[in-house]
Each structure stands twice: as structure tokens, then as C-alpha cells.
Structure 1
Amino acid sequence: MYKVMIVDDEWLVRQGLRQTIPWREMGCEVVAEALDGEEALALATLHEPDIVLTDIRMPRMDGLELARRIKRTHPEIKTIFLTGFDDFHYARQALQTGAFDIVLKPTDPAEIRRILQAAMASIAEDRSRSSYTLNLERRVRTSEPLLTEKIFFDLLMNRADKESLQLLLDVRGNGPSAFDSFRVVLFKTPGTGAPRGTAGTTGTAEAGEPAGARESEDAAGPEAQSAFAALKDRLLEAALTPFIPLGQEINAVVVSAAGAEELAAAPGTLPAEVPSLSLSSVHRGLQSVATAYEEASFAMRFNFGLGRGPVVRYEAIVAEAQSHHPAEWSETEVLGMIKWDNAAAIRAKTRSWHMTLLRQSAGSETALRHQMLQLMFGLYALLMRHFWELGCLPDTKSFLESASRADSPETMLRWIEAVCCEVQAAYLLSKQQGKTEFDNVMDYINGHFHKELSMHDLASGLHMSESHFSRIFKKKIGKNFLEYITDLRMEKARDMLLHSDLRVYEVSLAVGYQDARYFSQLFRKVTGETPSDYRQSFSYQA
């Protein structure tokens, strides 16, 4: 039943409306009558009518003022005005108040019934829309934890698309600025074979893991569980994401950089029973979450068996590796080895480093692994500083993955040998071809056009400012950096469209665009045709 209130200062009008309209037949009930606007306003609060039939001109408070106040306090009520010909100049004002409709006096019962039915239909539609919205909001609230956990997991694994990221921001109400400065933190739940300082990144026993390093779940007594709960509370204060379970009781969380600093600055306040926290370096932007995760994973693995304290930070590991050479090699020695020795001499040199470290470790597998990891980091940093323009060195993410997979000192030694030999071969080839440093940069660009290239990083490799690099690039190539990359990608895309069966989105990914729609728009801007039309036009010519 729809509830109706009639407002008119004339008793005959009110009675006429009561008697001439078949209210129950229409599914309505007159719940109140009022003589003027003031009385009607009080009754509206008491009875909550769905529809108000009101005269315009009344004593004390007229219908226009009544409608305005009803709209403020009860916006869902539909107001229908009754007015005579003499008062019709009020119609414009009535409509401005948000009135549903206007009926002329003397009233025609059929006309009133038509307008009432339209008002009822409008109310039903509003209620249906409101119910749908409420159900949708309820479903979003119910699924939000699972949804955000899934998207953040994909972010960590570097497989979240742009649509997922936008959905994440919409659901959580976080703007991108929330991730302007953050760290990824990894930690293990207590009682899962991960006492402080022995956390690994997989659930299986690590190669070289000392016997008894893993504890049974029975070790997680009430004190450990209580301490772990306290740690979670500390992390939640700085968290930008929910806790993300990664399997084998490893948890990840993205925290603000400031919050992470507070944790790291007061490690003594962390419960002693919880495992150490492994922190990435500070990152900015959602697109760098995956790299931050790789760093935190490496920090956790590097900390395995070493008992290095409650907080292990990736940048501290890197700084230690770069400042300390356990095999007592110098930068000059490494550069000379790359530039003047052969592959056999490189293998002999790296094996001598390994033997030195083996003696220094005094038979401790854990200590040897630690020193070999330092050697990997130190060499990688040095080679990147002097030879990155050759284009043969892995990027940081790939290096961290290699370091994490290296499960023994022998595996690390083979990696060091292979990288040094590959760098030497690339260096000697560049000298034989008489290439300049800029030529090497162009070779790198042409070989890595499908990846994200930073003009800042390229300029740094040539020891020049970004602005100077931009001017030199334009002078030598005839195009600015962005134009060259775009044209190169479009050239490769045209070739793939004509000489392969790859779908458009596969071509988009192959030339470096994650968003196929943006690729298609850019392709059309450059060529005048969409990728599909371009492929089809050449197939017709063939």
C-alpha cells in the first residue's frame, strides 16, 4: 500500500478527494489530512507518506514552502500540487521545488488517478534501484577482503592488469598517492619452522639447511601466538594493504615507508618470539610493488640461518655487499679481468675467490652461502656500473630471481662465472666493431624496445644529464627519444601484423604495450588505420 497525505485548507476539497478516488483499489491509503503546511510537515514526519497531494495557497505555510521543506527532510516523497487557473503562475515555482506534477482545480478524478499511478510507478522504480544499490554495496563490502587480497597478490606476482588496479582503488577508496612511498614486508607465522633469523622463502627445506632448523607447529605456544598478534597490530598501524598469505605460512603486507621506519627504529619493542621482518627498499607507485616483493623475498632468503636481528632491510644487505669484498678482490682487478683476460682465466679467478671464501668460512655451509651472496651482489653492482650499456646484464628483478634460486655456493659460482664471461664477450665484440658508447646505447634500445626504457637511466650510463642526453639523441637520430621508441615499436608491430598470426593484443604485448586499447589508438594515430584494418588491407592486396 502506498501512503497518501492530503493537504488543503478547504474541507470540501479534502472530502471530495477522499470520496472520488478509489484509493484501496489503486493500492493506496490516505493516512493523514492537514489544513496547512505547518500541520502537514509535522504529520509527514509522523506518518511518512509516499505521496503528498497539496494545495498551493494556504494560511501560515503555503504549499510551495511545504514542498521545499519536505524535499530537504524527506526527499523520497512525491509531491503533487493542486492549483486553480488563477494560481497557475505559481506552477513554475512549484516545478522548481521538485514537484512530481501539477493538477488543475476543479480536479478531474481520472486525471488525478493517472498522475497518482505515474507517481506510484516512479516510487517503485526508486525503491528497486535503491534495493539494487544496497545489495551491490553489501556484496562489495562482503567480497572486498577477498577481492583486495587477490589483486594485491597479483601485484606482488607482477600480473595485475590496469583494470584490476582501478577496481582496487575504487573499492578501497585509496588514491594512487597512498602508494607514493612504501615498503613490502614479509614475515612468517610462529611455530612453522621459522624461528627468528631462520625464515626461508619456500616451504621445503633449503639446500644446506642445518638439521633441526625447522620446528614443529607444537612449538607455537600461547606466548608465541600472543607475540605474533602484537606484531600484527604493529604492522596494521602502518599497513596500506591487508595481510596477503603467500603459502607455507609466509605473509606479505605493503606498509607506508614512515611506518616501516618506526618499526625498524625500535626493533627492541618487537616481541622476541616472532620471526624477523624482511623489508624491501622504499618504492613509489603501484607498478613497482612486484620489484619491492622480489627485494623483500631476497632479504628473507639472505637472512636464512644468520640470526641478523628482528628487522632485515634489503638496502642494508646491498650496502654491505658493495662495501665488503670477502674474497679480497678490487675493482681494478675485476675490470682488468673483463677487459684483458680470456674465459679460462676468468673461470680460474672466480674459482680462486670461491676457494678463499671456503677457507674463510671454516667449513660452515651457512657462512659460505652468505659470503657467496655478498660476492654476487658486489660483482653485479660493479658490472652494472661499468658495463650495463653492453646490454648483456640481467635487470635487477632478474638478478634477484637468480640469487633467490641459487640454492648452493656451487650454483652461485656458476652464475658468477657465466655473467663475467658473457660481459667479457660482449665487451670484446663492441671493441672489435669499433662502436662508440652511444652506439652501444642505441643497440641496447633497439634490442630492448619492448621493455620499459628510462631516459634517465640511459643518460646516467653515459655519464651525462638527462637534458644533455636528450639533445644529443635528437641531434644524432633526428627524433626525440619518445618519438624514436614509438616509431620503432610501430615498425615492429606492422611487421608482426603482416608476417605472423599473432592476435592484436599479443602484438601489443610483444612491442611493449600492456594495454591493447592504447596500442590500437596509438597505431591508428601513426598509420591512419587500426591494427585489424591494417592487416586486412594488406591481405586483400595479396
Structure 2
Amino acid sequence: MYKAIIVDDEAVVRVGLKNTINWNEHGFELIGDYANGRDAWEAVELHKPDLVISDISMPFMDGLELAGLISASFPYIKVIILTGYDEFDYAQQALRLKVSDFILKPITAREIRQLLDKVRAEMDEERQRHENLSSLQDQLKQSVPLLRERFLERLVVVGLSKTEINDRFAYFGLAPLAARSLVMVVDIDDFGDRELLSYEHDVEFLRFAAFNIFEEIAEKEQAILFRTREERMVAIVTSHDDDESLLYESAFRLAEDVRHQIEKYLKFTVTIGIGRVSLSPDMLPAAFKSALSALDYRFLFGKNRVLSILDLEGKPALASPPSLNWDRSLVSAVKSGSFEEAQQLIAQGILELKKALVPIETCFLQMQRVVLSLMNAIQEVIPADRETSLDSQMMLMDVYRFKTLDEIEGWLKQVVRAVMAEIADNRNHFTNSQVRRAVEYIETNYANDKMSLQEICRHVLMSTSYFSLVFKQHTGETFIEYLTGVRITKAKDLLQTTSLKFYEIAERVGYGDPNYFSILFKKHVGMTPKDYRENKGSGS
């Protein structure tokens, strides 16, 4: 018989639940009912019931606070929330507190009975599971492979004492390690044509298939294999021979065979890092670290390789990235719109990083420096009040998702293309804006007979040569042609709608010399101002 309590500040609810439900029939003994969470919590601490049915809104302590205390101190107690508040936030909090059920009021006696039967069934199942020794033993057996992997991971990552190593090796049935060992780390580069797999279990299947090939090959070399939580495959290769060259030869043979078989049968590639020899089991963390360092060189040399730290150590790496002005040259090319030059600079910079064997973190910092320079270039060119489509923070983080410099080269070329497009778009936007300002200025000040190209260029803050070029591109006319057109249009309007004398009209549209105005008007309209007024005035 399970023990239960009711918590609700409405007496009618408590009385109804007590009197309409035969609790014993459903496997429960109702040991108390309480009007607030504070009193209920005292009862929980004292009696430790198996089930608490509680409302949310109550004085002194609400139902969610009570559920939080129960979850923290007595996680095995089931809590059911009955509430009239149909609020998503309440439901979310209940889920976080691991509440068994969140039921909206009103609820019928029949629904309560069904709920109690359901909870009792769950409790019976949990009790049976915990009390069944054979089930626990089966679970332990199923957990052994995972426990073995976690032990081996701890062995190479943090290191263990010789006593603990010997005890755990005996427990997991592992052969004792020889005096000399080395570690190799296998990492999947990508899944090739399967890279766009939509289901996680397909990816897990491919990882399992790769590990299966690794196991079959490594069995011949009597290596100890396991997988890390970072989804990498690790082998500890041992040898009783004092000749380290034989150990390395065995490791290389194993690594090349694994790399070849995975590419051949699974159609994707792996890169393998081989570390230095460890002279005792407790020194394996240093060997593992050196294997990871060898694997890092994939960033420089590319994928689908076997990389040994012995082949790579001793090669001088520059203390700082080559071509310190690389980012400045690239930004200059971007600002000037020289796309081909920018692409060449990127290829040249990546090549220099490869030749110099610069450490991976230094490469990442160099890439971030380049991205920051590009973002600064955008800020210099594009006004602060105009949003851009480029997210600089995302770009700075994007660089860390690549495994090789070749991938970063392609990504950086795309970034530069996007930045140059953004700058070009802004230039067009700025130019359009300045031409509109110029047109507005002309149409507002056309009566000023002193208006000149230099004056309007000062107004829009552009050089006369560049302004003349873009104004003609946007309007199809030169500045003088456009200004003349505006003045003639205004003069035609004045001739039609006013009785002003011709010299007065000439003065109003910006011509101090009436004769020049008359000649210019006839050239553009095909008749003199007098003929135009007479013809238009008579309705011709």
C-alpha cells in the first residue's frame, strides 16, 4: 500500500477527494490533507509519502515551490499538480521539477481514479525493477562495455596510479600493458557524400561501422581500442620489444590499413594521429596528448592522412604568423573592389601558414584577425544607421568549425565575396542618395543664376569628376542639361499661367540675360517664348 497526501487551499476540493475516492481500492492510503504547501512540506519530511497531489496557488508556499523542495530532497516521491491555471509557464516549470503529471481542473472522480491506477502501475513497475536482482545484473553486464571505455578514456586523458590500472585491467579482463606503448587517435574527417544525412542514427551506424573495421584490423596487433566522448577512436598499441622502431612500424601498418579500409568500404575518410612512445602505463596521458597534437596537423596538411608526431616535431614554427600586413593588404583590395587581387592574397596567405607550420590556435587567431579587419572595413564604409546582412560575431565563431586550412581558404573567399558585395551595395545606396540630394537641390534652387557644378558638389560632398560621372549614369543627362531642363519646364509653366513679362520670367528661372533665355528656350522648345505663350494660350 502506497502513502498519499492531498494539498489544496480549497476545503471543498480536499473533502471531495477524500470522500469520493476509495483510496485503498487503488492501492493508496490517504495519510493526510493540507491547506498550504508549508504544512504539507512538514508532513512530507515527517511521513515521506509516495505520492503528493497538490494545487499550485496556495498561501505561504505554492505547489511549484513544494514540488521543488520534494524534487531536491526526495526525488523518489511522485508529485501530481492539479490546477485551474492553464499557463504554459506553469507547465514548463512542472517539467523542470520532474512533476509526474500536470492536470487541469476541473477533473472528475473517474479521471482521478484512472490517474491513481496509472501512478500505482508506474510505482509497481519501478519497485519490481529495483527489487529484481537479475535485472540489475543484466544492466551491469550491459554497462560493462561503456564502463570499460570510460576507464580507458580516463587512463589516457588524466592518468591513473599503477595499482588502479592493474585492478581495473583485471576487472575488465584486459591483458596487462607492456613496458612500451603508444597511442593513436582516429578522427572521422567527414562523411563524404553522406554529409547531409538527416537522421542521427544513420551517422551512428557509420561511426559503428568504422569502429568495427578498426576492431577487426587492430585485433591482429593486440591493441586496446575504445571510443571517446568526442566520437574519436583510440588505440593503445603495446610491444614487449625494446626496439621502439618496431612499435612505430606496427602502429603505422595498423593506421594505414585502417585508413585505407574505411575509405574503400565506407566511402569516407579518417585522419590518424600517432603519438610518442610511453615507457610506463602511468605516462599514457603524455602519449595521448602527443597523438592529439599530431592529429592537429591535419589543419595544415589536409584530410585522409596518417600523421606521426615524430615526423612533425623539430620542424621550426614561426613565433608569429607570416605576412603581418596580410590582413591590411586584403582589406585594401576589398575596399578598392579588386576581387581577383583579394582572392590571390587569401591563397598566398594560406600557403604561407602551411609552409611555416604555424600552430592551429595561431592559425585561428590569424583568421579572426582577418575577419575583424574586414568587419572594420565595413563599419568604415557603411553608415552606422544602415544595417548589413553580415553577422560579424557569427563569422568570428565560424572559423572554429573547420578542420583544415583548405576549408578555411574556401570559407574566407566566400566571406570576402560577401563583404565586397555589401560594400558595393552600400556605395550604390550612397550614390543614389547623393544624386537624389543633388536633384532636390537643383529643383529647389534653379532660380539661382549663380548655380554651378562646383556649388552642387560642395552641397553633396563629392568631387566634380565623380559627381559628373554618377549623375550622368543615374539621370541620363549632364548637370547642365538637367538644370536647363528644369528651368525650361518652369518657364513653360510661367508662360502658360501668368502674364509676367519675358524678362521677368527669365529672371525667375535663373537667367539674368533675357536674350540668352529666349535663344535657349527656342532651342529646346522649337519656338520663342512669345510664340509659345500665344499658341498655348489660344489652346493650340
**TM-score higher than 0.5:** no
Structure with larger Rg? 2
- What's the TM-score once normalised by structure 1's chain length? 0.31
